Structure 1
Amino acid sequence: MRNRSGPRTIAAVAAAAIVGTALPLLVTAPAGAEPVGAGSYTTALPPGAALPTACGDIATNPRKHLTANAPAGPVPTNDWWSSLVYKRTECAFSDNLMAHPFSFDTVAGGLGVDYATTPTITGTPTTVGEYHFQYGADFTIGVAGLNATESKVDGWTDWTVSPYWSDGTRTLRATIGHGSPFVHARATGGNALLSFASAPAVWDRTGSRIGFTVDGHSYVAWAPSGAQWTTSGGSISSNLGGKDYFSVAVLPTTAGSSDADRVSLANAFGPYAHNHLTGTAVSWDYDESASTVRATYRFTTEAREGTGTGTVVALYPHQSQNLAGGNPIAQTYLSPRGPMKVLVGASSFTTDTRYHGVLPEVPAVAMTGGDLATLNGYLDQAAAGDPLAGFGNDTYWTGKALGRAARLAEIADQVGRTDVRDKMLGAIRGRLTDWFTASAGKSERVFYYDRNWGTLIGYPASYGSDTDLNDHHFHYGYYIAAAATLAKFDPAWAADSQYGGMVDLLIRDANNYDRGDTKFPFLRDFDIFAGHDWAAGHGAFFAGNNQESSSEGMNFANALIQWGQATGDTAVRDAGLYIYTTQASAIQNYWFDPDDQAFPAGFEHSTVGMVWGDGGAYATWFTADPEKIHGINMLPITGGSLYLGHDQDYIDRNVAEIVRNSGSQVPRSWADIIWSFQALSDPDAALAAFRANSGYTVEEGESRAHTFHWLRNLSALGQVDTGVTADHPLHAVFTKGGARTYVATNLGASDLTVRFSDGTTLTVPPGKTATTGAHNWSGGGTVPGDPGDPGDPTDPPVTSPVLALVSPGKLTTAGGTGAVSDSIAAAGGANHDGTPANATVYQACGITGTHDPSRQTKFALRLDSGTAVANGVQARISYDPTGSGTYPRTETYHYFATDPVAGWETYTQDRGRAAQTGAPVNLNNGCVRLEVWSAIGTAPTALRTSATVAEGTRSVVEIPYTVSTR
């Protein structure tokens, strides 16, 4: 859920080109900050920050609506039943709860029950519109005389919940859940009572059970053996024979069903009526050789009578389509997601979902000649300023900025534009490091852990990510994806001892993959049974919970696959694979509905912008523009977006509706997103549209460079081919003109042979993306296990201790080729004294030299802040003795306050050292790194680089070594 503002203009400003691996200056965490490797989060609420808000004191007491029996640990949020515990609009009970086939509500007298089968449809085929299977109680399950002041939560499992009522004399506990046609109830203090607006039609009385119909829906209630049900007007009641349990089920009957049909189903369900559900749990496994994700959904029951096991379960289409074994009965339930098939007597069921692969990015198979020149021009434009400038400072818009930079880094790396790649990586590194570092009093770009809620909130928050716990998977997916790109080139930064632990915290907050972890709830945002995320933390809506941007949920899942693969964390990778494959199937069925099963007749759209618990909406939270209603379930376009290309006929239908509803052949907004989606079916048409309309307004998280790269290369590759898979998670297959192109990426340290399901094999060098035809593209940079970056072999050897700064990012004895200047990013009004933030980095490697204790490090940096007042630039010089990627010797110098007069000034070591670590040692193929950043100030500062000796005013570093050879 997101109440977005309108489009934002991305104003480019001068920025730093950051390269190399930046290791942090280790400092003691301030009070209230919890260290995680080199990073940290705060446990003290930042100044001015908001907590989750709801009825009463829930901000500090989220367990106030739980009973003493409820599980210890974090309270789940973002679920179908969250309004029971996270009471936002209904302070005593809950909003409507959509479990399917049931929908429920909680009231003073107990549990309202409905089987909604008639949709309400609004809007027209060309305007915003919605369909809802609205809750309207068929009856209420309760206890005679029950008049509770609130409903509480007595327990929960992976897809069930147990609401609880008490008025001091009578109690009711019910267990309800996704896919369960049973309500299992426990009652004390009075007779079990089913209350109706008018007398139901009774069609069966057999022993302790009663069958009845209300509003065209058939139900059966079972009392304990020997007990009876009594009817009186608008009620059915039982004393339960002195016991406390009973169950009610809805049957999968239709208007044409006979009483005999109903009795037959009641007989089939009966053996499981008193097997009360006490637990549900999912587990998953990635079968790499078969490229299949196997998920098993288990039910634990307690027999109130006899010793039986098993239950009855109704499967959503995304489950039944991938069901491995089991024999559903002929009858199905109607639901807002389409027909639900029914398994009778199941203790578990398993789905096998084929996985068709993801890539860090589509390969640059067509980037030659004029197309390469065009791409390079777009890359130059993207790299002209600060890559992160113009975006909001909150978690969502920071994420969008990071996502854009990561896409640019990936494609720049493929075509050898290491200058652009490293600038993007540097911007990502600097911004993530800033967010992942807490300090006393820091109120912006900081993560706060709330122990009461078991959640990690980034401030500034946005779209209710703090007050409603909305959208954490949307926001944090961008951070994790950018970190995954950075991890490929800078594995040291991604190590748990550095900032990898902070990335893992974001993963576990949004969708904790570790059931044993008590810091965060298990899979917070992902609805295990529904197969997709929910966005709203509280779910407090008449239509149940909702999810708008399914594609941003997929961005999170893809980010887990990429991060897990880049860092060797298979637990994270496999959780990403489970969410990715399951949700891809759910999206195809419930957001796109290509087979016309989910959307009811009369809802004449090819897609919904939002899925609600009880239906869907051709709408968004922020606009009625057709392009954005469609596009919000396409962006961001990444190498993880290939699932959108699995049904080319549907893509054509979707795009045709955009044209029809907008009245324009050319998208009026988000053209790049629409074209990128269209290219998965008709890449030539999408590319032609781009070329003909290249002056389009770029979507905030996109760039012309990335869109052109995507369109041009898909034009060469063709469409995604789902007929072939591979035994490696980073793969894809494309087909054009009947010919297949096989693609795989290797982030490992040695050659990888990828085997495709049709017998094709592809050998991929370390750190590369390969395609059939012996084409290799860079795709990994420095890979895990490598000793570090030994330097570019084309760089001139370091033969002197005097090293000049040369753009981009080099220290070299060869000098420059003509003076330019790099822009040192402004401090933004923050104080970064002593800690690099958005630093520009220069490096030389392959240095062999003997330390001379009679000398000291010297430098002369030529700076100009123009007329800006109160700017201060700071430098740190670090030494890696063996080129291992670890810098034990660091020297941080006091910052230099620039004057407000245009013209070069000189910052030298004479400012004095502010801090140092380690002792100087000899260099053996070692590295020297210079980091320059703004410690204070609100304006960027120019740093002169690449000047020739003849031009003078060079920026140089002199190291205290006698250099022998490289």
Structure 2
Amino acid sequence: MTHLRDFSPDPVPPTAPAPSPARRRGLRATALVAASVLAAGLLGVVVAGGGTATAGAVGAGSYTETRPAGALLPKGCGAISTNPRVFTTADAPAGAIPTNDWWSSLIWKRNNCTGSEVLHAHPLAAKAENNGLGLSYTTTPAISGTATGVGEFHYPYTEDVRVGMPGLSAPVVKAAGWTDWTVTADWSDGSRTMRATIGHGLPFSYYTVSGGTAQLTTAGTPTVWRNSGATIGFTVRGHDYVAYAPTGATWTVNGTGISSTLAGKGYFSVAALPGGGDRAALADTYARYAHAHVTGTRMSYTYDPSAGTVRTTYAFTTTPREGSETKTVVALYPHQWRSLTGATPISPTYVSARGAMRVLTGVPSFTTTMRFTGLLPEVPAVGDSSGADLSTVTGYLNAEQGNPEGLSGPDTYWAGKGLGRAARLAEIADQLGQTSVRDAALNAMRNRLTNWLTAGSGEAGQLFYYDRNWGTLIGYPASYGADEDLNDHHFHYGYFIAAAATLAKFDPGWADDSRYGGMVDLLIRDANNYDRADSRFPYLRDFDIYAGHDWASGLAPFFAGNNQESSSEGMNFANALIQWGQATGDTAVRDAGVYLWTTQSAAISEYWFDVYDQNFPAAFGHKTVGMVWGDGGSYSTWFSAAPEMIQGINMLPITGGHLYLGDFPEYVKANYAELVTNKGGPPTVWQDIVWEFLALGDGEQALRNFRANSGFTSEEGESKAHTFHWIRNLAALGTVDTTVTANHPLAKVFVKNGARTYVASNITARPLTVTFSNGVTLAVPAGKTATSGAYTWSGGNATGGGTVPTGPPPTVTPTPTPTTASPTPTTASPGPTSTGTPLKPVRYLRSGGGLDGTAGTSGTVNVAAANGNHDGTPTNPQVFTATGLTGTYTGGATAFDLAVDAGTAVGNGVQIRVSYDLTGNGSVERVETYRYFATDPVPGAERYRQTQGLLSSTGTLGNLSGGTVRVEVWNAIGGAPTILGVGNSSTVTLPYGS
């Protein structure tokens, strides 16, 4: 077993790096991919040789497909190491197999080679045995430890009932299907077959059988309180269940056995009731939906920059086994029901390891709306600009110039920690005009990243290996089970991506897809693939869509299920996506990061911090946990019993993407107070991490702590320069203000003594005006960060970094009343233009075929069905044209953002071509055709953007002089029309200035 609890009080300082906080969090699962699914070349431009290729080139970077000597691969029962699909049925979904889900032990078996480990779905837990599916609804927590030391709470699996068939004895239980938060298990013994579907938030489990009848076996003699026709209600171990057979069927009770012939129809469902209400009435309510079997689930999200919100819809697909009902019953976690939009839960609630789960009945879907409160590359330097503090931080910075990475080990985790440290130093040094330190940090990151992202470069054998069978990219040397357990990829790779984002701001050429951007994108896709159409990796591997947070483990070899320790390193990954997407103009990556960041920050507040004091059992006694388990939580870590580390592991790394930690300032102070109580005094290790966290609730106290004890030893990923910069400036800024959002992702509001400071970072090459939700506007120069009070400029776009200009402070314009920004594309604002009649780069697709510089009335047009394959060839397109355009080519690329909806049609794909006639003489100098976008069969607009990638291009761009731009939109595939939003909902952004 890789991870053992070691409660030594201090970490071992690594020479060859040893376990550090984030790094030993439990075992997790993996992405299983059939070799036949992945043809050669899917990861990039693979060298000649097809399936036997040893390396793949991705721009200037590369990965290897030859496993390094001695490197470990995922392991499991039987032939799973070489064929991870041995535990799936023949009709299981194609593509990469989810690995870090709550149910992954069903498909990736290691200790239990016939069934599964405990599957904590909530409100139910389940366990696959060879003769059926065990169900448990535990409502009483088991609590161990003390309120001031290591302690745990669990709602352990204790079987109430096993659902199966008489005589069923499957040699192995396989995975037959899975969707975003459900799984279907398959039992077959040659004469009998049963399939069961379970899922997060589902009080029901659904069954189909053939070759036999239904058999429920209870843990003790059940108390039957209803047995009427096709419905039986019973209580076992104090928990109420209802089983629903088809119309015409009956149930027979014999001791602990409950059976039904199902009237020969072969389907039924079993529901657990929440308890505490009128169970008979609730059983009647549930009966209406009992035969609308949930057969699919799907999440979709939309980030609206103008409103500063993330809207997430959780949709259910059902198959009516009888009748016409298609809606269902669902239980929502606290992070969901606190943000629920347009629906009202019923009472009573379910007990769960995450707190009370509220129930919706008769719904096809539900939607949450959460506020995205923004983040920053780094907190701004707003303190004393010319005194002792400036001298202090400058001294700390200069001391780091020779080794910005600090301790940087050979493996992906410790190398990542070093990259994160250097990135913080680069951001701060740039703010303060310390260009030599900044450039030293940038060079260190560039060298380190380039080495890792180029297979065979030689240094320390550091490279990435792609395994086709498992559908995963493993960095070697690996550590903490990232290879054989596929642990922690989001933790490790988040540091790489965040450092690449900082480097991209100063050296955009390095980040281009033709160089190393493509390899960075592969790291993103491996850990949390944001593109459903990409079958090379599972969709959101490490993120549990319904639970709202990452899992570090998927194997779940412990009775408590999956686990995750460092929620803050999971947030480092989400922050990295936002920063990388913003730096490279990839809005699909940015928006995925915003979704992950916003959803998970809400989950962390609930399940790691319990800021509302409603979710942890009252007798647990702690205000925070170091680890969340499938069935509970624990005030502990994998590596230390020190309170600083138990609490600090969910704080580090401290970055401008971790300001969510300060969303509840009073909780911050309470969390710190618990640490001092449990420690019996102030922190003696990881003081920097703890004080930086405290600064989000009480910056003045944190600064006093630093000044009184500045001789502390920094945590391995920290530096004195960053710690002092963070604490000193938060003491000046105050606490984060979550009541105000912005129409730009890199923006934040702080408040101190009732006065707000507005901050925004513009890492584009054009000026930007940021509008906040209370009507305040902030003008931000190109490549800079601006604040509304004591101010600074920072950042840069050119290779080698920017400069720190002098001049007046940025403009802050409050408006009399709050305003809502008009709909704009999710790319950065183009900023002010020159006088006269300047070219407007953002062009709106208008009804009637215009491609105008101003938005029109919202509307739609129909794009004709393809009725054939027209990939790359415009066929019956909708055409939009702009003429008489004059502008200077900026050297950038075309961007577009189209609202497209194929309704419920399956198999449609919409495509765009953009043509440039630079002088308007009828001769087209540049044609760009983009890969088609496969629309989903769910009504509602999706966003088709340039991130889908170029299919082909001809010619070159140059300056426009009375030129013409023509946009064609058509269906490349599919037999149904597609709705295209026009007026104000679809745009093309031209790479031109005035």
For Structure 1 versus Structure 2, the TM-score category normalised by the shorter chain is 0.7 to 0.9
Contact in 1 for aligned 2:374/2:746 (Cα 8 Å): yes
Structure 1 segment 138-153 matched on structure 2, within 5 A: 138-153=160-175
1:196 aligns with 2:218: yes
Residue 421 of structure 2 corresponds to which residue in structure 1? 404
Please report how far the alpha carbon of residue 775 of structure 1 lies from its aligned counterpart in structure 2 after TM superposition. Answer: 2.6
Contact in 1 for aligned 2:795/2:803 (Cα 8 Å): no
Please report how far the alpha carbon of residue 440 of structure 1 lies from its aligned counterpart in structure 2 after TM superposition. Answer: 8.8
Pick closer, same or farther for the CA change 1:763–1:447 going to 2, 3 Å: same
Structure 1 counterpart SS, 2:345: coil
Structure 1 segment 181-220 matched on structure 2, within 5 A: 181-220=203-242
1:701 aligns with 2:717: yes
Cα deviation digits, residues 6-37 of structure 1 (max 9, x gap): 6354789xxxxxxxxxxxxx998996110111
Counterpart AA for 2:11 = P
CA distance in structure 2 between the partners assigned to 1:419 and 1:573 by the alignment: 30
CA distance in structure 1 between the partners assigned to 2:181 and 2:595 by the alignment: 16
Residue 920 of structure 1 corresponds to which residue in structure 2? none
Runs of 4+ in 1 over 3 A off after TM superposition: 1-12, 26-31, 440-443, 788-794
CA distance in structure 2 between the partners assigned to 1:792 and 1:352 by the alignment: 39
Residue 149 of structure 2 corresponds to which residue in structure 1? 127
1:671 aligns with 2:687: yes
1:627 aligns with 2:631: no
1:33 aligns with 2:65: no
Residue 853 of structure 2 corresponds to which residue in structure 1? none
CA distance in structure 1 between the partners assigned to 2:173 and 2:194 by the alignment: 10
Structure 2 counterpart SS, 1:187: strand
Cα deviation digits, residues 411-442 of structure 1 (max 9, x gap): 00000011111111101011100000012998
Please report how far the alpha carbon of residue 540 of structure 1 lies from its aligned counterpart in structure 2 after TM superposition. Answer: 2.4
Q: Which consecutive residues of structure 1, in runs of 5 or more, have no partner in the other structure?
A: 13-25, 795-882, 886-966
CA distance in structure 2 between the partners assigned to 1:781 and 1:690 by the alignment: 34
Contact in 2 for aligned 1:443/1:459 (Cα 8 Å): no
Please report how far the alpha carbon of residue 790 of structure 1 lies from its aligned counterpart in structure 2 after TM superposition. Answer: 10
CA distance in structure 1 between the partners assigned to 2:48 and 2:794 by the alignment: 38
Contact in 1 for aligned 2:431/2:804 (Cα 8 Å): no
CA distance in structure 2 between the partners assigned to 1:743 and 1:10 by the alignment: 38
Please report how far the alpha carbon of residue 48 of structure 1 lies from its aligned counterpart in structure 2 after TM superposition. Answer: 1.3
Cα deviation digits, residues 509-542 of structure 1 (max 9, x gap): 0000000101100000000000000001322221
Cα deviation digits, residues 681-717 of structure 1 (max 9, x gap): 1101101111110110100000000000000000110
Structure 1 counterpart SS, 2:710: coil
Structure 1 counterpart SS, 2:521: helix
Structure 1 segment 453-602 matched on structure 2, within 5 A: 453-602=470-619
- Count matched residues: 774
Residue 961 of structure 1 corresponds to which residue in structure 2? none
Residue 637 of structure 1 corresponds to which residue in structure 2? 654
Residue 307 of structure 2 corresponds to which residue in structure 1? 290
Please report how far the alpha carbon of residue 109 of structure 1 lies from its aligned counterpart in structure 2 after TM superposition. Answer: 1.2
> Which residue among 469, 474, 485 is the counterpart of 1:452?
469
Structure 1 counterpart SS, 2:375: coil
Residue 443 of structure 2 corresponds to which residue in structure 1? 426
Please report how far the alpha carbon of residue 386 of structure 1 lies from its aligned counterpart in structure 2 after TM superposition. Answer: 2.9
Residue 795 of structure 2 corresponds to which residue in structure 1? 779
Radius of gyration: which is bigger?
1
Residue 265 of structure 1 corresponds to which residue in structure 2? 282
Structure 1 segment 624-773 matched on structure 2, within 5 A: 624-665=641-682, 667-773=683-789
1:604 aligns with 2:660: no
> Which residue among 7, 10, 13 is the counterpart of 2:11?
7
CA distance in structure 1 between the partners assigned to 2:442 and 2:769 by the alignment: 29
Please report how far the alpha carbon of residue 793 of structure 1 lies from its aligned counterpart in structure 2 after TM superposition. Answer: 11
CA distance in structure 1 between the partners assigned to 2:58 and 2:304 by the alignment: 32
> Which residue among 258, 262, 273 is the counterpart of 1:251?
273
Counterpart AA for 2:767 = D
Residue 91 of structure 2 corresponds to which residue in structure 1? 69
Counterpart AA for 2:143 = I
Contact in 2 for aligned 1:32/1:440 (Cα 8 Å): no
Structure 1 counterpart SS, 2:496: helix
CA distance in structure 1 between the partners assigned to 2:364 and 2:708 by the alignment: 58
CA distance in structure 2 between the partners assigned to 1:754 and 1:213 by the alignment: 59
Contact in 1 for aligned 2:506/2:801 (Cα 8 Å): no
CA distance in structure 1 between the partners assigned to 2:601 and 2:542 by the alignment: 15
CA distance in structure 2 between the partners assigned to 1:113 and 1:468 by the alignment: 27
User: Cα RMSD (Å) of the superposition?
Assistant: 2.2
Pick closer, same or farther for the CA change 1:790–1:677 going to 2, 3 Å: closer
Cα deviation digits, residues 84-109 of structure 1 (max 9, x gap): 11112212111111000000111121
1:371 aligns with 2:389: yes
CA distance in structure 1 between the partners assigned to 2:378 and 2:423 by the alignment: 10
Contact in 2 for aligned 1:3/1:463 (Cα 8 Å): no
1:168 aligns with 2:190: yes
Cα deviation digits, residues 725-783 of structure 1 (max 9, x gap): 11110011011111100000011111111011111100000100000147332123339
CA distance in structure 2 between the partners assigned to 1:443 and 1:146 by the alignment: 54
Contact in 1 for aligned 2:219/2:237 (Cα 8 Å): no
Please report how far the alpha carbon of residue 390 of structure 1 lies from its aligned counterpart in structure 2 after TM superposition. Answer: 3.2
> Which residue among 119, 125, 135 is the counterpart of 1:97?
119
Counterpart AA for 2:737 = D
Cα deviation digits, residues 228-281 of structure 1 (max 9, x gap): 111111110001111111000011112xx4xxx111101111111111111101
CA distance in structure 2 between the partners assigned to 1:234 and 1:62 by the alignment: 38
Contact in 1 for aligned 2:382/2:792 (Cα 8 Å): no
Please report how far the alpha carbon of residue 596 of structure 1 lies from its aligned counterpart in structure 2 after TM superposition. Answer: 1.8
Please report how far the alpha carbon of residue 190 of structure 1 lies from its aligned counterpart in structure 2 after TM superposition. Answer: 1.5
Contact in 1 for aligned 2:307/2:743 (Cα 8 Å): yes
Pick closer, same or farther for the CA change 1:197–1:7 going to 2, 3 Å: closer
CA distance in structure 2 between the partners assigned to 1:599 and 1:2 by the alignment: 25
> Which residue among 62, 71, 91 is the counterpart of 1:49?
71
> Which residue among 366, 384, 387 is the counterpart of 1:349?
366
Pick closer, same or farther for the CA change 1:228–1:522 going to 2, 3 Å: same
Residue 901 of structure 1 corresponds to which residue in structure 2? none
Counterpart AA for 1:250 = A
Residue 907 of structure 1 corresponds to which residue in structure 2? none
Q: Which consecutive residues of structure 2, in runs of 5 or more, have no partner in the other structure?
A: 17-44, 807-889, 893-994
Contact in 2 for aligned 1:533/1:547 (Cα 8 Å): yes
Please report how far the alpha carbon of residue 444 of structure 1 lies from its aligned counterpart in structure 2 after TM superposition. Answer: 2.0
CA distance in structure 2 between the partners assigned to 1:280 and 1:411 by the alignment: 44
Counterpart AA for 2:131 = G
Please report how far the alpha carbon of residue 191 of structure 1 lies from its aligned counterpart in structure 2 after TM superposition. Answer: 1.3
Please report how far the alpha carbon of residue 171 of structure 1 lies from its aligned counterpart in structure 2 after TM superposition. Answer: 1.2
CA distance in structure 2 between the partners assigned to 1:762 and 1:791 by the alignment: 21
Cα deviation digits, residues 636-689 of structure 1 (max 9, x gap): 000011100011111111101110111122x11100000000000110110111
Pick closer, same or farther for the CA change 1:400–1:630 going to 2, 3 Å: same
> Which residue among 247, 250, 260 is the counterpart of 1:238?
260
CA distance in structure 2 between the partners assigned to 1:396 and 1:9 by the alignment: 15
Please report how far the alpha carbon of residue 165 of structure 1 lies from its aligned counterpart in structure 2 after TM superposition. Answer: 0.9
1:382 aligns with 2:400: yes
CA distance in structure 1 between the partners assigned to 2:186 and 2:560 by the alignment: 22
Please report how far the alpha carbon of residue 599 of structure 1 lies from its aligned counterpart in structure 2 after TM superposition. Answer: 0.6
The percentage of counterpart residues that share the same residue type is 64
Contact in 2 for aligned 1:7/1:700 (Cα 8 Å): no
**If the length of structure 2 is used for normalisation, what is the TM-score?**
0.76
CA distance in structure 2 between the partners assigned to 1:333 and 1:791 by the alignment: 57
Structure 2 counterpart SS, 1:437: coil
